[in-house]
């Protein structure tokens, strides 16, 4: 006999050649235990079928009196690995560990590769022990004991292994086997002595006899069953070795419990009831998941189902003209369900519900998941209707993903069926595989780089959704949290509802608002019980979020005080003054904010924090005193609660205040924000819908179809060489997109569409304006959460793109109001916006090539898409755009406090108009600036007071309204102003009105006379009357833009001599204030010597030169590094589009290579002179030869030239924003 180094005996005549020979020759017990250990290794996740078959083989060979020798470690390792190598396995779709929820809370389980097993177990347990039912008590008792025991054993193993719920792993290339020491160690984790099992049973009142149902007996004939789905080890995860229980199949605990529950339900005669209960439970959860995505329940009663199919049905609304038919299919072994007839009946019924507008229907078939196989068929509907089939847990995975919304399933179904018409999709692994590809591929199922001829089979690789499912599960992190229910401790299911902090929300739909953080030893709940339905009280919800977030941020400082306490949970209940909840307006008044306080009431198990109405006056301050007061009171409440319960806590009030003060930094780190529209009506949230950004799937649809929309016979070569041909293609695409837009717009009810779009634009304006306070506050809060900061910046960029597309689309609709009948809806408007966005994109590219800014590679891709190389865009435009956003965000932070300072004046007030501007404006536009301001103010005030996103006024009403406010204004003057502000009609979208040029209607040009930003009123003729449509936030934006154009000299249509003179006087005075601002910044923020005056370089000037080289605006001297900075200050706005970029390049570098008038030429010559004459600096420094001259241009705004011109720029250019943000480190050395 030989002894292995692990103490395992071995003796054999020849080494076994395979696993079967090994179990026939050696003791089965150690091999079974080794297989159990291998299931605890994360990299082995996915080899479960191998382990199940190996365990079965070993158990078949096991003898009652096993006296065979032990296999050596190297032998067993080698043969087990070879068994794994010989198997063809798929990547698992679930996590390595999951979370079962039962009476003792959360239990970590190893689900193996059984899809949805843990979810099915949790659902069955909820049906039996939480939902109302009449199941036999003895049935419940047996299930309760068996489930508890096995889950406790599984959780104990996971705890010893250090495994938490939802571990995500990729399947290893081969089976990983621990070294001998760890193999022995982990083997002990799976071992449970008879005494330990008795102890558990005594502690919880279980009958240990229930374990007999889960123990595999030696010689059990069922082990010889070769069907993998009926392998006995799936249902018997325990084995007994020498009176010890051994969990040799930890990955089949879940499947064994599901099987046990079903067997016992049959035994106690309640199986049919349980099966039906389980269906209804999943149907309810499916409905909740759809509600979470934004689907709205209806009271539509469907026609009777004559065939009484095994389905549960309901109808929900998903869009203005779309309904969702949820058909939940009960699983049925062996019997196929044909849903064709029923679906057609339902769809025909729903389509005709409204005589004026046929509804479009998404038939959503959800397959119940109960552990049995499903067979069924459903129709593919024609026309505009869509169908989609998903398994229950596939729906759950999609619906709780952060990126989903109310139209996610509709758009995917539409894309799937469009693609399936062109190709033949084979999704053998399920529709979710296709959805995961769609998500990764920007809302398309087609590969933009590959050829896919019509009729080609498109195979969706099985397992494509594995990562999607796992990541969805991990992000959702569904589990149970301890909570007092009716005064008794219990558990509530929660899920993570955001990603910036582990704050969890109650899964159940309920009017009560409950959040929880589990950062400390005991969970801390933050609750509010004042709502009357689940979507009210944003004030209270925001306060709850703030408390939970700040507690999380203070976790490191509070843990030492909280984690020594022994409480089931803390509950912080926020009670908000009803007046504050209902308030839409409030009175500005002098308030001593130091006297505002919150009150506490200890009502075990709750700590009630009462928020008075005056708390609003703290919230509207620029600093975070409101957040600090809230958190000081919360911590005081916890201290008081502990003391009143007769215990002690090391945290004192003074320490708590100090922790709050140190955590809530800087002072504008605010979670509780307030939009005071008394100073800025654009921040008004009243009456606005949620904002939808541009949808990737609609952009992809447009790109996939561009070639089809080009004129008949137009051929796009694989590679276009001539830049003129590239420009021609771009122009043809623009023409085709205009035609497609015209075709689509004709279908709509124009008046309804205008109202819808104006409302959406009002929301985009409100969001954009709120970003000025939201972004700085959130960045301050999330300063240690970089990903969230990047998300905020990304949303800012997306908002700019969406806003431009929306304004352009309104311009199109208002210039040629459609007379169709179709109702506006989110889905069709998404497509219209995608068309508009791409029209602008291709038009801008054409213009960039015309101006000689770029010449990208272009041509037809194998997929049939038109490709254009994005290198120039990535290297230049993307960096410029990112720099602009970065600068904007920095300015938001700088100006944060001023955004909170109420001007305490009417939102219509526009001050500071001088007589010269009035005269110039009259000569240019036929109305004074003052009169236009008055007209704008009246209309703005009307919309604001009516709280309507889109105001509609007849022309006579409009004139009367203005004359009531300003009696001196004549009808002609009013109409002059209104006409100046009203969109002009066009014969077609691509044809400018008489007296205008094509450039006036190019949407990729800014400051156009015919843009919606310049003409904020839309005019519609209705029953012979003229009706004006407008949004008051946009009206305010129009006036701000007009001021911008006037005071930056960017007003393009100046034909008036007086206007030219006035603008010239404004521009001539811009330079000095900016120069002084730069100078003062250096004085306040650096140790450099700053020369107070502008340094003249001219004969007999401060620096004596042979000719006039102009002035050095700001000279600063870095004596530490011996650098003299010659700074030229340029006050101007950076380019916003291709045309302005061209103008900027010409201005600084000269036009067409002629640099005689280039702005930068003079500064470069000055730099050359200074570097050649260092002694000229003797007036400013001793030993000037030691100093280096560095010339730099500082601009008031981020400039495109620094990103586009590269080495052609002779001097470094930095924006003043960059200088303020990065300090002197941004200066060239």
User: What CATH code is carried by the domain that includes residue 978?
Assistant: 1.10.10
Rounding to the nearest 10 degrees, give the CA dihedral for residues 869, 875, 876, 878: 90
Examine the domain organization and report whether 742 and 891 are in the same domain: yes
Examine the domain organization and report whether 172 and 288 are in the same domain: no
Please compute the mean of the pLDDT values over residues 427-448 and round it to a whole number. Answer: 89
> Lowest-pLDDT range, 23-32, 118-127, 517-526?
23-32
The CB density around residue 281, as the number of other CB atoms within 10 Å, is 17
Say if 993 falls within a structural domain.
no
Please compute the mean of the pLDDT values over residues 4-19 and round it to a whole number. Answer: 60
Mean pLDDT comparison of 89-103, 104-118, 629-643, highest-scoring range: 629-643
Please compute the mean of the pLDDT values over residues 328-337 and round it to a whole number. Answer: 74
pLDDT in tens, 548-583: 999 999 999 999 999 999 999 999 999 999 888 776
Integer angstrom CA distances of residue 219 from 25, 58, 468, 765: 17, 11, 42, 75
Examine the domain organization and report whether 265 and 278 are in the same domain: no
For 907, residues 6+ apart whose C-beta sits below 8 A from its C-beta are 677, 678, 679, 680, 681, 940, 941, 944, 1036
Say if 553 falls within a structural domain.
yes
Q: Residue 1174 gets which letter from DSSP?
A: G
Q: Supply the pLDDT for residue 1134.
A: 75
C-alpha–C-alpha distance, residues 405 and 402, integer Å: 8
pLDDT in tens, 968-989: 999 999 999 999 999 999 999 9
End-of-domain residue from the set 1030, 1045, 1065: 1065
Percent of the chain with pLDDT over 90: 61
CATH of the domain at 1140: 3.40.1350
Residue 3: pLDDT band by 50, 70, 90 thresholds?
A: very low
Examine the domain organization and report whether 483 and 621 are in the same domain: yes
Q: Is the pLDDT of residue 755 over 70?
A: yes
pLDDT in tens, 625-649: 999 999 999 999 999 999 999 999 9
Examine the domain organization and report whether 1060 and 1034 are in the same domain: yes
b or e along 858-874 (b: 16 or more beta carbons within 10 Å of the residue's beta carbon)? Answer: bbbbebbbbbbeeebbe
C-alpha–C-alpha distance, residues 576 and 615, integer Å: 10
Q: Supply the pLDDT for residue 934.
A: 95
The CB density around residue 577, as the number of other CB atoms within 10 Å, is 17
Say if 459 falls within a structural domain.
yes
In 30-128, which ranges are E strands? 98-102, 105-109
Say if 998 falls within a structural domain.
no
Q: Is the pLDDT of residue 456 over 80?
A: no
Please compute the mean of the pLDDT values over residues 1196-1224 and round it to a whole number. Answer: 82
Residue 1118, CA atoms < 13 Å, CB-side half-sphere: 18
End-of-domain residue from the set 269, 295, 310: 269
Examine the domain organization and report whether 232 and 311 are in the same domain: no
Examine the domain organization and report whether 1044 and 1111 are in the same domain: no
Say if 712 falls within a structural domain.
yes
C-alpha–C-alpha distance, residues 420 and 381, integer Å: 13
Structure tokens belonging to residue 1061: 């003179």
Residue 818: pLDDT band by 50, 70, 90 thresholds?
A: very high
Examine the domain organization and report whether 618 and 669 are in the same domain: yes
Say if 555 falls within a structural domain.
yes
pLDDT in tens, 876-915: 677 777 777 777 777 777 676 666 544 333 334 344 468 8
User: In the predicted model, what is the mean pLDDT of the chain?
Assistant: 88
Q: Supply the pLDDT for residue 2.
A: 38
Closest CA to 685 of 742, 764, 748: 764
- The number of folded domains in the chain is 6
Burial class (CB in 10 A: 0-12, 13-18, 19+), 1079: buried
Examine the domain organization and report whether 971 and 1083 are in the same domain: no
The CB density around residue 128, as the number of other CB atoms within 10 Å, is 21
Examine the domain organization and report whether 745 and 723 are in the same domain: yes
- Which residues lie across from 329 on neighbouring strands? 311, 367
Domain range for 945: 915-982+1017-1065
Q: Supply the pLDDT for residue 446.
A: 87
Examine the domain organization and report whether 281 and 424 are in the same domain: yes
C-alpha–C-alpha distance, residues 1112 and 1118, integer Å: 16
Please compute the mean of the pLDDT values over residues 68-95 and round it to a whole number. Answer: 84
- Of 370 and 405, the structure prediction assigns the larger pLDDT to 405
Q: Supply the pLDDT for residue 904.
A: 34
For 805, residues 6+ apart whose C-beta sits below 8 A from its C-beta are 694, 833, 836, 837, 840
Q: Supply the pLDDT for residue 677.
A: 76
Q: Supply the pLDDT for residue 1036.
A: 94
Q: Supply the pLDDT for residue 64.
A: 73
> By three-state DSSP, how is residue 633 classified?
helix
Say if 265 falls within a structural domain.
yes
Examine the domain organization and report whether 752 and 710 are in the same domain: yes
Integer angstrom CA distances of residue 434 from 375, 899, 1069: 20, 47, 61
Q: Supply the pLDDT for residue 60.
A: 93
Closest CA to 1032 of 939, 955, 962: 939
Closest CA to 1192 of 1066, 1087, 1078, 1053: 1078
Question: Could you tell me how many residues make up the chain?
Answer: 1229
Q: Is the pLDDT of residue 282 over 80?
A: yes
Q: Is the pLDDT of residue 277 over 90?
A: yes
Q: Helices marked H in 352-391 — which ranges?
A: none
Residue 943: pLDDT band by 50, 70, 90 thresholds?
A: very high
Note the pTM of the prediction, 2 decimals: 0.88
Q: Helices marked H in 1150-1199 — which ranges?
A: 1159-1172
Say if 1008 falls within a structural domain.
no
C-alpha–C-alpha distance, residues 1038 and 1043, integer Å: 9
Residue 545, CA atoms < 13 Å, CB-side half-sphere: 18
Q: Supply the pLDDT for residue 335.
A: 63
End-of-domain residue from the set 269, 284, 304: 269
pLDDT in tens, 989-1039: 999 999 898 888 999 887 789 999 999 999 999 888 999 999 999 999 999
Q: Supply the pLDDT for residue 771.
A: 80
Q: Is the pLDDT of residue 1 over 50?
A: no
Residue 789: pLDDT band by 50, 70, 90 thresholds?
A: low
Residue 1130: pLDDT band by 50, 70, 90 thresholds?
A: confident
């Amino acid at each position: 006999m030989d002894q292995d180094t692990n103490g395992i005996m071995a003796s054999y005549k020849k080494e076994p050649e395979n696993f079967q020979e090994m179990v026939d020759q050696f003791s089965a017990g150690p091999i079974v235990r080794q297989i159990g250990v291998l299931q605890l290794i994360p990299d082995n996740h996915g080899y479960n079928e191998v382990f199940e078959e190996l365990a079965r083989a070993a158990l078949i060979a096991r003898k009652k009196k096993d006296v065979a020798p032990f296999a050596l470690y190297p032998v067993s390792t080698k043969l087990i690995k070879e068994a794994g190598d010989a198997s063809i396995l798929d990547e698992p779709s679930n996590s390595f560990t999951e979370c079962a929820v039962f009476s003792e809370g959360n239990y970590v389980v190893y689900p193996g590769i059984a899809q949805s097993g843990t979810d099915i177990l949790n659902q069955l347990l909820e049906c039996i022990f939480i939902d109302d039912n009449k199941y036999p008590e003895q049935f419940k008792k047996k299930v309760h004991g068996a489930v508890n025991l096995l889950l406790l054993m599984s959780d104990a193993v996971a705890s010893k292994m250090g495994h938490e719920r939802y571990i995500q792993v990729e399947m290893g290339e081969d089976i990983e086997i621990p070294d001998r020491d760890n193999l022995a160690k982990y083997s002990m984790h799976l071992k449970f002595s008879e005494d330990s099992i008795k102890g558990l049973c005594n502690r919880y009142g279980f009958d240990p006899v229930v374990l007999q149902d889960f123990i595999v007996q030696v010689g059990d004939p069922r082990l010889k069953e070769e069907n993998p789905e009926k392998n006995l080890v799936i249902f018997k995860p325990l084995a007994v070795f020498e009176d010890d229980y051994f969990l040799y199949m930890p990955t089949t605990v879940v499947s064994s419990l599901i099987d046990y529950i079903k067997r016992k339900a049959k035994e106690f005669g309640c199986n049919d009831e349980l099966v039906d209960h389980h269906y209804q439970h999943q149907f309810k959860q499916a409905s909740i998941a759809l509600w979470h995505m934004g689907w709205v329940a209806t009271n539509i009663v469907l026609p009777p189902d004559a065939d009484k199919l095994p389905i549960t049905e309901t109808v929900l609304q998903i869009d203005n003209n779309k309904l969702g038919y949820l058909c939940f299919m009960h699983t049925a072994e062996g019997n196929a369900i044909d849903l064709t007839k029923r679906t057609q009946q339902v769809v025909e019924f729903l389509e005709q519900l409204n005589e004026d507008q046929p509804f479009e229907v998404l038939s959503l078939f959800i397959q119940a998941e109960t552990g049995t196989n499903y067979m069924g068929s459903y129709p593919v509907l024609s026309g505009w209707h869509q169908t989609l089939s998903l398994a229950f847990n596939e729906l759950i995975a999609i619906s709780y993903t952060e990126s989903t919304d109310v139209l996610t399933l509709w758009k995917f179904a539409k894309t799937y069926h469009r693609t399936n018409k062109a190709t033949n999709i084979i999704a053998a692994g399920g529709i979710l595989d296709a959805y995961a590809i769609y998500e990764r591929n920007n809302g398309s199922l087609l590969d933009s780089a590959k050829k896919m001829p019509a009729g080609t089979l498109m195979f969706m690789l099985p397992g494509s959704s594995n990562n999607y499912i796992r990541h969805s599960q991990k992000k959702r992190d569904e589990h149970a949290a301890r909570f007092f229910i009716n005064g008794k401790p219990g558990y509530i299911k929660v899920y993570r509802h955001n990603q910036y902090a582990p704050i969890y929300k109650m899964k159940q739909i309920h009017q009560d608002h409950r959040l929880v953080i589990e950062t400390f030893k005991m969970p801390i709940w933050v609750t509010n019980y004042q709502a009357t339905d689940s979507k009210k009280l944003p004030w209270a919800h925001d306060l709850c979020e703030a408390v939970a977030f700040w507690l999380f941020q203070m976790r490191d400082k509070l843990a030492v005080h909280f984690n020594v306490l022994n409480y089931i949970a803390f509950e912080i209940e926020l009670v908000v003054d009803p007046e504050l909840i209902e308030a839409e307006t409030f009175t500005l008044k002098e308030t001593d904010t130091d006297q505002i306080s919150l009150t506490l009431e200890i009502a075990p198990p709750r700590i009630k924090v009462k928020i008075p109405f005056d708390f609003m006056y703290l919230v509207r301050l620029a600093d975070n005193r409101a957040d600090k007061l809230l958190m000081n009171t919360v911590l005081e409440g916890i201290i008081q609660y502990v003391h009143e319960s007769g215990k002690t806590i090391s945290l004192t009030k003074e320490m708590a205040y100090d922790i709050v003060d140190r955590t809530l930094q800087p002072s504008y780190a605010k979670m509780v924000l307030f939009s005071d529209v008394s100073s800025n009506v654009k921040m008004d949230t009243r009456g606005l819908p949620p904002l939808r950004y541009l949808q990737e799937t609609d952009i992809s649809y447009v790109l996939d179809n561009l070639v089809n929309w080009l004129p008949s016979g137009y051929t796009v070569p694989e590679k276009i060489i001539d830049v003129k041909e590239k420009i021609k293609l771009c122009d043809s695409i623009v023409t085709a997109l205009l035609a497609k837009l015209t075709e689509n717009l004709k279908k709509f009810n124009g008046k309804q569409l205008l109202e819808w779009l104006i409302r959406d634009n009002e929301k985009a304006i409100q969001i954009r304006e709120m970003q000025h306070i939201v972004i700085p506050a959130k960045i301050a809060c999330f300063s240690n959460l970089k990903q969230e900061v990047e998300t905020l910046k990304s949303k800012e960029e997306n908002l700019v793109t969406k806003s431009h597309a929306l304004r352009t689309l309104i311009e199109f609709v208002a210039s040629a109001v459609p007379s169709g009948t179709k109702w506006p809806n989110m889905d069709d408007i998404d497509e219209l916006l995608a068309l508009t966005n791409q029209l602008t994109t291709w038009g801008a590219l054409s213009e960039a090539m015309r101006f000689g800014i770029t010449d990208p590679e272009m041509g037809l891709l194998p997929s049939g898409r038109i490709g254009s190389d994005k290198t120039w865009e990535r290297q230049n435009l993307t960096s410029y755009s990112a720099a602009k956003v970065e600068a904007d965000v920095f300015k938001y932070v700088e100006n944060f406090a001023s955004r909170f300072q109420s001007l305490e004046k009417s939102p219509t007030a526009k001050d500071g108009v001088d007589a010269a501007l009035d005269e110039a404006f009259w000569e240019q536009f036929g109305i004074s600036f003052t009169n236009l301001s008055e007209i704008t103010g009246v209309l703005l005030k009307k919309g604001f007071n009516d709280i309507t996103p889109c105001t509609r006024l007849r022309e006579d009403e409009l004139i009367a309204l203005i004359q009531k406010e300003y009696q001196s204004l004549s009808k002609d003057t009013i109409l002059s102003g209104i006409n100046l502000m009203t969109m002009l009609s066009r014969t077609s979208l691509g044809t400018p009105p008489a007296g205008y040029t094509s450039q006036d209607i190019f949407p990729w040009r800014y400051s156009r006379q015919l843009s919606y930003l310049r003409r904020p009123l839309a005019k519609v003729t209705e029953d012979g009357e003229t009706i004006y449509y407008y949004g008051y936030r946009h009206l305010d934006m129009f006036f701000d833009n007009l001021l911008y154009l006037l005071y930056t000299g960017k007003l393009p249509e100046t034909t008036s001599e007086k206007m030219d003179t006035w603008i010239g006087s404004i521009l001539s005075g811009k330079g000095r204030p900016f120069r002084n601002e730069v100078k003062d910044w250096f004085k306040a923020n650096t140790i450099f010597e700053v020369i107070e005056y502008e340094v003249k370089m001219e004969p007999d000037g401060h620096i004596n030169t042979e000719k006039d080289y102009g002035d050095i605006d700001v000279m600063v001297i870095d004596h530490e590094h011996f650098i003299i900075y010659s700074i030229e200050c340029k006050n101007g706005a950076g380019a916003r589009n291709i045309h302005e970029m061209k103008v900027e390049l010409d201005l600084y570098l000269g036009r067409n290579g002629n640099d005689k008038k280039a702005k930068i030429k003079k500064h470069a010559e000055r730099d050359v002179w200074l570097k050649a004459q260092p002694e000229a600096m003797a007036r400013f420094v001793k030993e000037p030869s030691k100093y280096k001259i560095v010339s730099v241009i500082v601009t008031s705004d981020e400039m495109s030239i620094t990103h586009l011109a590269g080495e052609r720029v002779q001097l470094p250019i930095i924006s003043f924003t960059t200088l303020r943000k990065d300090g002197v480190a941004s200066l060239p050395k």
